[in-house]
Amino acid sequence: MSVISNFVDQPFDFILGENPQLRWGTSAPDGDAEPFKSLPVGSMYMYAQSATIRKWYTKRANGQRDDDWAMGMHCVQQRVAYSDFTDGGSTSGTLALTETIPVGAWVQRVILQNVTGFTGDTTAVITVGDGSDVDRYNAGTPSVYTTANAIDLGAPSGTQIHTAAATVTLTITGTADFTSISAGNATVRIYYLL
């Protein structure tokens, strides 16, 4: 297990008992291991999964189980550009996002922000899936051809609950070969509860 750092301003209150603590480290919460099992309910833990992925957990129960620690609302976010996509050899290009959606997550919504149109072809549409269900996380085929401040990709069309971790896969489709698309970028945000 990695080193867990700690910040405690006032660890004990004579009326309330042991106060919640703020911790951070590079291991996922492990409910039956120290220091996680001994921390009081209400404690917060920041899991530094990588140099760019940070996840906040709050201890909601004291059952010494991993699911004592919940994240609440979380957002997978990544800035993507047309040049990040792999040409599928036809009209579509795909991109697997860096961060996965974990087991137990319930996907709420996907939005795009700060979209610079994916131009060069005559159209460009997007679907957001998990590698096997191409549009699990959105409804329809929203256009990303024009520049927009934000685009709501609609309600998830596939199973929202995750019984296994999933890699998010974006697919952008034009009318000609994918290499016709010569511009475009956007910030993808996938919101889920855990």
Q: What pTM was computed for the model?
A: 0.80
Task: Count the neighbouring beta carbons within 10 Å of the beta carbon of residue 168.
Answer: 23
Asked if 135 and 158 count as a contact pair (C-beta separation under 8 A), the reply is yes
Summarize pLDDT for 97-138 with one digit per residue, the tens: 999 999 999 999 999 999 999 999 999 999 999 989 999 999
- Which alpha helices (DSSP H) does the chain contain, by range? none
Give me the number of domains the chain comprises: 2
Residues of the domain holding 107: 74-193
Take residue 85 and report the two structure tokens written for it: 């996509």
Summarize pLDDT for 10-51 with one digit per residue, the tens: 666 666 677 888 999 999 999 999 999 999 999 999 999 888
**129 and 40 share one domain:** no
Nearest to 170 by CA among 129, 111, 117: 129
- Tokens 């979380």 belong to which residue? 74
**64 and 127 share one domain:** no
**127 and 174 share one domain:** yes
